[in-house]
Structure 1
Amino acid sequence: MKKKVLILSEAVGTGHTKAAEALVQGISLLDPSVHTQVLELGQELHPFAAKLVYQFYLKMITRYPSVWRKVYNYKQNQPISGWKQSFIYQVLHRTIKDVFARVNPDLIICTHPFSSSSVSRLKRLGYPLPLCTIITDFYAHGVWVQPEVDLYLVSSDEVYRQLIGMGISKEKVMITGLPITSDFRMKRNKQEVRHTLGIKDMPTVMIMGGGLGLGGIEHLAHILLKWRESLQIVICTGYNDSLKQALYKDKNFHHPNIHILGFVESISQWMDAADGLITKAGGITCFEALAKKLPMFIYQPLPGHEENNCEFLTKHKLAVRIDAEQEVDEWVHKLLKCPQDIAFLEQHMELFWQTIDPLATARSVLDLLNINMVGSARNCPDTYLTIKQI
């Protein structure tokens, strides 16, 4: 009988689901016999409630960033409380047992703290299947922390130490890096990729705001306009169609050295074509850029987890934080005139990547799955009798 892995994400941005899909690819490469399925859990079970939660989050980080920062930082180094866990479960996941009964998974993997929280709640009530959680940032907030998780897969030794500090045993944490698809694990010839994409072979900077097109992209794009004669500018608006249309309508952006993209599947090729990336600090996007050894400049990181991601990356000289127009201009000047001044970023990325096995996440998942299959065969022949009685 095929082994089944259910990977749970949430429809908040695109990073959590991208991590899930990359994990599917890795598992398929190592063991094609394993059946995998990805679900954006809240959207699948209660789409109206999930949409409200998403809109609330989006409004907080864009309109009230200082308030969101206080909310995020409040008891961030403590495991999530029982009432918060219950609230997440009741609002987004109260019918999750129906999914488990339908899919009958041998292993559950979560790439978002909300789904991890709700599965942990069920495990505490008697649900026996193993749970693996992938922390998709360079920082572990307390919302990720549940003792019922059997295995945490994390990006770095700092996240490892943070989890230990919040009471998770060392045996439950593995440093694997984050799952990314194979196209990000290879580096193509820059000139050839530019030819394929139909753009000029000249110094090129990408602007990205994740799948949602956040992070002050429009303001940043206007800052870079003054460089358009000597710099090729690629603006990625993601799913933010209103931003894309606003840029199209502005005649200042009607220039052969400016390219405006919506959401594209070929983003890895555009990274290969670029000399620098100005981005917000989403965990998966930053890990993809690290794999490409693409110099990163993090522009005004969003409050909460992205500020913490930025702190990790800048502390380890894997990225540079820029907050003002003058700083943007200074780094663009270095990129054009003194590229040796940003070479340290590529050097530190190379050192960081030497510690990463790109398929370590998938291998760890398969190891846990195989251990569970042996244990289930011996001890748990009637697993789903338990869940139906909860």
Structure 2
Amino acid sequence: MNKVLILMAERTGTGHKSAANAIERNLVAQGCTVKQLNCFPLMGKVGVNMENCYIPLTTKHPLIWKISHGFSQICTDIMHSWIYHRVKKNLLKEIIAFNPDVIISVHCMFTKAVSRLLRKNKLSIPFLINVIDLVNPPKVWRDKRAQMSFVPTAIVRRQYLKLGFKPEQLMVSGFPIREDIVPPVKPKVLGNKLHILMVNPSINLQKNLAYVRELSQIDNAEITFVCGRDERLYQALTCEKANNPQLTKVKVLGFVSNMPELLQWAQVLLTKAGPNMLLEGTRSGTAVIVTGHIPGQEAKNYQYITANHCGARCENPRKIRALVQGWLDRGLLPEYLQNALHAGGNDGAKIIADYIVGICR
């Protein structure tokens, strides 16, 4: 039985874990034994702290996050070398113990450090990378020593070719989206109520509150707000709802396990430009409004939505009500719901799993 090791993270956003889960399900369906390995704890206490500070930094101290991201872009090799020395001992133990036939990383911090570890220890295990940044991936993803890099779009493939990657090192796979989000056969139909799903649409707490206040003024709008693991946001919204009668029709949720059902219910999704959530939205046939991005990351991901004509970008809460109301008044929302079904690029998990099974034979 083929054994596959997936390198990922638990708490640096939901995309890495979601991508790993989607790939694992497809591999298990083809008879593989799969182990997901969170690499941050392998770096010791500093790694645990790095992972745990992701949400606080991106939500409370975005400038510090932007500076750290900029450092990784400018001093990429220094960062990879530091990670290698922090992770090499414990990661090698995990690899030897599991003895995988293939290793795939879905996290940009564990790319060059991993291929270096394999090379230094003369381990001839195929190493693959699944790039899960949508439009303009950070430099830390790039590793020409990887046997294959799965990239989400043809645009990213062309970027990599210009950087000297060989064509046989690149595959346009699309994005690995969980398969329990089932694309609807027909476009969603508007009824008497407008179903709006908000998934932590901004890294700024006050902007999130402003988005909710504005959208709650739309007649017949039903709003569900998913805060994820952002406890500060959950508490602020719960307090706002208790003190603002206008928000009585807003449902506030923390971390959820029924995202497929919520997306099936929604007609409009507001979210920041995390690629996983954007493509889960289009896969579910939902119109998407991109309302923000993490500093230094995700800045151009909104282009996937606008290029496929299945939504818009709006990073100003004061303009959001007019935007959505305009969709309704001009009859644009049914068109966006139709286009979302054809956006594509959201079936990468099967393509990646098929490739892995193929090289294991």
TM-score range, shorter chain: 0.7 to 0.9
The residue matched to 1:51 in structure 2 has which SS? helix
TM-score, normalised to structure 1's length? Answer: 0.81
Change (3 A) 1:101 1:174: same
Q: What is the Cα deviation at residue 219 of structure 1?
A: 3.3
1:240 equivalent to 2:218? Answer: no
- The answer to whether the 8 A contact 1:276-1:295 is kept is yes
Superposed, 1:66-81 pairs within 5 Å as 66=63, 68-69=65-66, 72=69, 76=73, 80-81=76-77
1:6 aligns with 2:5: yes
Contact 1:295 1:346 in 2 (8 A): yes
Shift of 1:256: 5.1
CA distance in 1, matches of 2:247, 2:57: 35
The one-character-per-residue Cα deviations of 1:110-156 (angstroms, maximum 9, x if unpaired) are 10011223211213323210011111121322111112111111211
- In structure 2, the residue matched to 1:155 is 152
The structure 2 residue matched to 1:134, chosen from 111, 130, 134, is 130
Q: Counterparts of 2:145 and 2:205 in 1: how far apart (Å)?
A: 34
**TM-score, with normalisation over the residues of structure 2?**
0.87
Gaps of 5+ in 1: 193-199, 371-390
Cα contact 1:233–1:257 (8 A) shared by 2: yes
Residues 12-71 of structure 1 show CA distances to partners (whole Å, capped at 9, x for unaligned) of: 112101100011111223x1x21011111113x245222322355445533554564465
After the TM superposition, list the runs of 4 or more consecutive aligned residues in structure 1 that deviate by more than 6 angstroms: 188-192, 210-215
User: Residues of 2 paired with 1:95 and 1:211: CA distance?
Assistant: 36
CA 1:191/1:303 → structure 2, altered by over 3 Å: closer, same or farther?
A: closer
Give, in whole Å, the separation in 1 of the partners of 2:249 and 2:99. Answer: 52
Distance 2:267 2:182 in 1: 17
CA distance in 1, matches of 2:55, 2:251: 26
Contact 1:10-1:115 within 8 A present in 2 as well: no
Of the structure 1 ranges 8-17 and 92-101, higher mean CA displacement relative to structure 2 is found in 92-101
Number of residue pairs matched by the alignment: 356
Post-superposition offset of 1:211:
12
- Determine helix, strand or coil for the equivalent of 1:149: coil
Matched AA of 1:245: Q
Mapped contact 1:210–1:282 kept (Cα < 8 A): no
Any conservation in 2 of the 1:317–1:345 contact (CA below 8 Å)? yes
Q: Which range moves more in the overlay, 282-291 or 206-215?
A: 206-215
Contact 1:134–1:153 (Cα < 8 Å) also in 2: yes
Q: Distance in 1 between matches of 2:220 and 2:235?
A: 25
Cα distance, 1:202 vs structure 2? 1.5
**Structure 2 unmatched runs, 5+:** none
CA shift digits 1:276-304 (9 cap, x unpaired): 00101111111111211211101122222
Which residue of the partner structure matches residue 195 of structure 1?
A: none
Within the candidate set 77, 85, 94, 1:90 is matched to 85
**Aligned residue number for residue 100 of structure 1:** 95
Pairing of 1:367-386 with structure 2 (within 5 A): 367-370=358-361
Residues 218, 187 of structure 1: alpha-carbon distance in 2 compared, 3 angstrom cutoff: same
Q: 1:4, 1:106 within 8 Å by CA — same for their partners in 2?
A: yes
Aligned to 2:356: 365
1:246 is displaced (CA, Å) by: 2.5
